[in-house]
Chains A and B, each alone.
Chain A
Amino acid sequence: MLRFLAKRLLMMIPLLIGITLISFVVIHLAPGEPTDMQTDLNPDASAELQERLRAQYGLDQPLYVQYGQWLGRLSRLDFGESFSLDHRPVMEKIRERLPITIIINLLSIILILAVAIPIGILSATRRNSLFDRATTVFVFIGFAMPSFWLALLLMDYGGVRLGLFPIAGIRSLGHEYLSFSARIWDLVHHLILPVFVSAFGGLAGFSRYMRSNMLEVVRQDYILTARAKGLSERVVIYRHALRNALLPVITLLGLSVPGLIGGSVIFETIFAIPGMGKLFYDGVMMRDYPLIMGVLVIGAILTLVGNLLADISYAMADPRIRRS
């Protein structure tokens, strides 16, 4: 197991460098530079200013030098300063935005699992029943419905008309004057709609996946054996079948890890949540290279770690994988 781990960890290093190199080249290929925001179509911005700004940001250097410098800084765990007008350290900006995105995505994954797994199991065990058909329709509506539309609908009806939920943001005006418990409730209250919207689309995939896994497993011989032994249907399904049907879900969970920080531009924009998705989107629009690279590196590391965790869980669950 240790050898397996060490091998996987070593393989991650060239992979990570490859990812950063490709990202670096691709974002520099996009037309426009960070300095353009200040100088384009601005009668007061002279050509010298443009050149001076480029030099200040190091954009006058050849691309390989810029990449080398960036990699050098990264090796010291320094993501550099943002090229946007605030010139703040990239790490600081990410640190400000990361917690809320992780919280929303974690809650949404928990919600997805809590709803999708039971739906999947029940749909599989009662195949073609009314429940199965109804949930099929329901999850496909969720899959097909654009999240921005669902968000606006909920904001309009749940927020404006019924006044049940706050419409946008993550805390109320005057949040700082509330008691501790009221502050927590304020936060939870603001998170209900975004978490629901972010989870809704994911329900379809997960529950369908769970359903088909379950259907596959219950066809296996050992389930037949278990039934033949006279075990109750409950024991057969929840003790024997479920465990095996859940295994592939681990892979999906591993793949969800980068989503934890990637966030979603759409619902963060609509709900005015100061999260990573919006930060990254704005970074791309402003060609803020250090910020884009910072977010991409963290995303890449998390993807690799997520995959690794999934593999480890697999290896732990199935000895054949370790041996191969």
Chain B
Amino acid sequence: MIRKSVPVLLALLMMAMLSGCQPDEGIVPASDADAKPAYGDTFIEASIGEPSNLLPILATDSASSEINGLVYNGLVRYDKNLKLEGELAESWDISPDNLTITFHLRKGVKWHDGAPFTSADVMFTYRLYIDPDTPTAYAESYKQVKHAEAPDDYTFRVTYDKPYAPALGSWAMRILPKHLLDGVPITKSPLSRHPIGTGPFVFTEWQPGEKVVVEANPDYFEGRPFLKRVVYRVIPDQTTQFLLLRNGDLDYMDLSPIQYQTQTDTLAFERRFNKYRYLAFSYTYLGYNLERPLFKDRRVRQALSYAINKQEIIEGVLLGLGQAATGPYKPDTWVYNPNVKRYPYDPDKARALLAEAGWHDSDGDGILDKDGQPLQFTIITNQGNDLRIKTGEIMQQRFREVGVSVKLRVIEWAAFLKDFIHAGNFDACILGWAGGPEPDQYNIWHSSKTGGRELNFIHFRNAEVDRLLEEGRRTFDQEKRKKIYDRFQEILAEEQPYTFLYVAESLPVVARRLRGIEPAPAGITYNFIRWYVPEEEQKYAR
């Protein structure tokens, strides 16, 4: 038996390899013009990680927050053009002194268990966030509130000590049901496994390690979502996700640059999927530890920026799917300042600046030196992010060409933060920040935020930036705010405490049977409840 089975198995394997069969093409949609919105069908997407906790106040991972986004609502949200609009709040008034915000809540909204939503829920949620016994990582914005009150069932009012411009956006936090959580220790609540919200989808099932399922809320206040069911499968490997997608087992995933550029450019793929690309709210940078004598000289930092070929990194690492970053804001937002000083790739200028700063190759070994010390430093980055590692390798090569010797060290995340970043024990690091529509950068750049575990770990101190950041937080008027942040970006561009490297693109792909997708500055998922599958193309009956 064995004698036979081995060759048979081998033959099967060989056959499979040689066959080159095309995948099942599944449902190929008709033209968009014929499509009519219809209720029904299941939408399947995958998440790399298992959600941790479906109580938004406790969850910090993206899988949980994505599901929570379907089950819960906030008072406000960002619309397709990244402007704040009401969600559970119908409207709001801001007092002339910018200190008080009064939210007028929607009437007739119901929790998924049928209980009515009122201002008592908002009040309860606010108190829960600032309760010292709540182990939440999101309390800081709500601690700025001096006084909160709920004068009636549909009004909620908060007053701040001083004007706080990010305040309104902070009320996008998800509101929790008082009647189900009051008196229960928050970490013991059954809602962490079985959420009950006011959102467009109702939680139905969570199979640990496998999937989370939510179904359309027929009573949703903005109208019932077209899609009947959404399934989040936990697929920890991105290659497996991609195979599932190609097989038609997934309707949505975020592609990597290589998948976008080289593995999905076939006609067969494009007949079944729509690919999208837009700039993500994040950027990657090379940050210099300004406590190190080498980086105290601005000319050295500027020289290093001139020595880096950002376009080469974008082509090599992102396969062209990104843009050069010039500051902390992404280029297509209102706050972005296009007129700051730029650092095009110019090795001669880099050499000249370094020479001006006193660095010369006196011993002819190809490495610049000063007072007998060679110009060398180490760049650290975290393990598990290939794009950053490759970015480091490309920069290393370019630095070498201007006479700077650079070592690259890749360190496991926890050790990276604890032993290097928080301890201030590094020369330079490659990292990235993810942001959002709110431009406040106080925590990253203000000189008061250079403490042990704080975010200004490169120790950037600039009195004018401090003043601008404080003012930016207090200014509600967008035009005035823009002037403040324009100046802030000019200073960063001049000082180069970071070399801002690139803004990568998000590369989502969606099965073509899904309609109603309208790309906008906010991406594609902002109108998810209006996505639909025409009746004749629906794939899942149940």
Contact = CB atoms under 8 A, between A and B. Distances in A.
State the 10 A-B residue pairs at the shortest beta-carbon distance, nearest first: A274-B209, A32-B414, A43-B443, A85-B52, A157-B16, A31-B415, A44-B140, A85-B53, A161-B21, A31-B418
A38 to B, nearest CB: 5
Given A170-B210, A274-B209, A279-B209, A152 B239 contact: yes
Interface in A263-311: 269-275, 278-279, 282, 287
Given A36-B418, A274-B209, A161 B244 contact: no
Contacts of B49: 282
B419 interface: yes
A44 B139 contact: yes
A53 B414 contact: no
A43 B455 contact: yes
A32 B419 CA distance: 9
Contacts of B240: 155, 167-168, 270-272
Interface string B524-541: 000000000000000010
By size class, the interface of chain A is 35 or more
A128 interface: no
A31 B455 contact: no
27 contacts: A36-B417, A38-B135, A39-B453, A40-B417, A41-B455, A43-B443, A45-B140, A49-B136, A85-B52, A85-B53, A85-B60, A85-B61, A118-B1, A155-B240, A157-B16, A158-B16, A160-B243, A161-B20, A162-B19, A163-B24, A167-B243, A167-B247, A168-B240, A169-B233, A169-B235, A173-B44, A282-B49
Given A43-B443, A86-B192, A37 B135 contact: no
A87 B236 contact: no
Contacts of B141: 44
Contacts of B237: 269-270, 272
Contact of A43 (B21, B53, B444): B444
Interface string B138-169: 11110000000000000000000000000000
Interface string A244-278: 00000000000000000000000001111111001
A131 B3 CA distance: 8
Contacts, number: 163
Given A131-B3, A162-B19, A173 B231 contact: yes
A119 interface: yes
Interface in A78-129: 84-87, 93, 96-97, 115, 118-119, 122
A39, A134, A274 — which one has the most chain B CB atoms within 10 A of its CB? A274
B155 to A, nearest CB: 27
B16 A44 contact: no
B6 A173 contact: no
A138 B9 CA distance: 11
A238 interface: no
Contacts of A50: 453
B6 A135 contact: yes
Nearest to A100: B209
B193 A49 contact: no
Contact of A278 (B60, B236, B419): B236
A56 interface: yes
A199 to B, nearest CB: 12
Interface in B403-446: 412-415, 417-419, 443-444
Interface of B: 1-3, 5-6, 10, 16-17, 19-24, 42, 44, 49-50, 52-53, 58-61, 64, 132, 135-141, 187-188, 192-193, 207-210, 231, 233-237, 239-240, 243-244, 246-247, 249, 412-415, 417-419, 443-444, 451-453, 455, 540, 542
A159 interface: yes
A60 interface: no
Given A45-B137, A49-B137, A159-B247, A134 B6 contact: yes
Nearest to B187: A87
A289 B235 CA distance: 24
B444 A272 contact: no
B5 to A, nearest CB: 8
B209 A43 contact: no
B209 A38 contact: no
A272 B24 CA distance: 22
Contacts of A84: 52
A216 interface: no
A157 B60 contact: no
Given A160-B23, A162-B16, 18 more contacts: A31-B418, A47-B451, A49-B137, A86-B53, A97-B208, A115-B2, A138-B10, A157-B16, A157-B19, A161-B16, A161-B19, A162-B21, A167-B249, A168-B240, A168-B243, A169-B235, A173-B42, A273-B209
A115, A157, A275 — which one has the most chain B CB atoms within 10 A of its CB? A157
A166 B524 CA distance: 30
Interface string A43-74: 11111011011001000000000000000000
Contacts of B135: 38, 49, 52-53, 56
Contacts of A97: 208-209
Interface in A21-36: 30-32, 36
B540 A173 contact: yes
A236 B131 CA distance: 79
Nearest to A37: B60
B209 A96 contact: yes
A298 B41 CA distance: 43
B21, B53, B135, B192 — which one has the most chain A CB atoms within 10 A of its CB? B135
B3 A122 contact: yes
Contacts of B21: 161-162
A144 to B, nearest CB: 15
Given A86-B53, A168-B235, A287 B453 contact: no
A174 interface: yes
B200 to A, nearest CB: 21
Contacts of A122: 2-3
Contacts of A93: 208
A270 B413 CA distance: 22
Contacts of A45: 137, 140
A184 B10 CA distance: 28
B128 to A, nearest CB: 14
B284 to A, nearest CB: 14
A163 to B, nearest CB: 6
Contacts of A273: 209
Contacts of A37: 60
Nearest to B143: A46
Nearest to B17: A157
A239 B138 CA distance: 71
B57 to A, nearest CB: 11
Interface string A155-195: 11111111100011111011001000000000000000000
Contacts of B208: 93, 96-97, 274
Contact of B137 (A42, A138, A157, A174): A42
Nearest to A150: B13
A86 B363 CA distance: 60
A42 B455 CA distance: 8
Nearest to A45: B137
